[in-house]
Amino acid sequence: MSKIPKAFAKYYKSKPVGDFTKLYPQLTAPSFHIWGKEWNSGYRMDWFCVTEPFLMINDPHTHDFDQFLAFQNADATHVNDFDAEVWLYLGEKGKQEKLVITESSFVHVPAGMVHTPLEFRIIRKPIVFMDIALTSQYVRKPEDKTKPIMTEGERH
């Protein structure tokens, strides 16, 4: 057990593990989460270990905040030994461009940019996917304005 001085306990969270299997049954490995709203911060991060192919998000959407998506080998001693293929679409419907990710990388999704689908197409070795958002409250706005907005509570 860690020893945290009482004066700094509010800045520490042990075992930030979440269960995303209800939303993504293919995520069988533990995942970690830092949600800024817990610390009154404009930052959040979800960390997923992906062990098998699956479509994570299908509906193109936007956010009012910048987002960074990170992809790397799950073995922290060999982060650049990336043996997977991930498809990420950027841009509005009809003008989308497909990124085919086959190496450890970051993707910056500026506020307002339409993005997804996000599909983990080929997973030969487990990878880590980090969703880093510069916000304390995750809200997904659909590209199609007739669909409802997805909020953090629905996501998690």
Over the chain (156 residues), what is each successive 10-residue block's mean pLDDT?
89 82 87 82 91 95 95 96 98 92 98 96 97 86 67 50
Query: Which pLDDT does position 156 carry in this prediction?
Result: 40
Is the CB of residue 109 less than 8 Å from the CB of residue 68?
Answer: yes
Helices (H), the chain: 152-155
Sketch out the chain's domains with CATH numbers.
30-147 (2.60.120.10)
Is the CB of residue 79 less than 8 Å from the CB of residue 72?
Answer: yes
16 vs 31: CA distance, rounded Å: 8
| 114 to 22, 39, 75, 129: CA distances (angstroms) | 25, 28, 31, 19
